Amino acid sequence: MHRTNPSGIPGVKVVKVQPNTPADGLINDGDIITNVNGIQTDSYDELEIIVSETEPDKPITLTVMRDGQQLEVELMTVPYGQTVQ
């Protein structure tokens, strides 16, 4: 993910979705994450704090901009570094 977003849309641009993570198949490369659980995220640091403070196996809702459309995506958190099958 970019630490800054060059597109002009406030948020965090996804550069590469890692395989076998909760985001795999739900978030796309190039998506811009604008909110996490309704909290605006303007930087990677803000996004990381919000996600890391969420207990594992709890859902989070990401608001993303994809191809000019706003979408909401729900993911389940996992312990840091853990993958999913």
Please state the rounded mean pLDDT for residues 33-57: 91
CATH number of 12-76: 2.30.42.10
- Nearest alpha-carbon partner for 76 in 21, 33, 29: 21
pLDDT tens digits along 69-85: 999 999 998 877 666 76
pTM of the model: 0.84
Would you list the domain boundaries of the chain? Answer: 12-76
Distance CA 41, CA 27 (A): 16
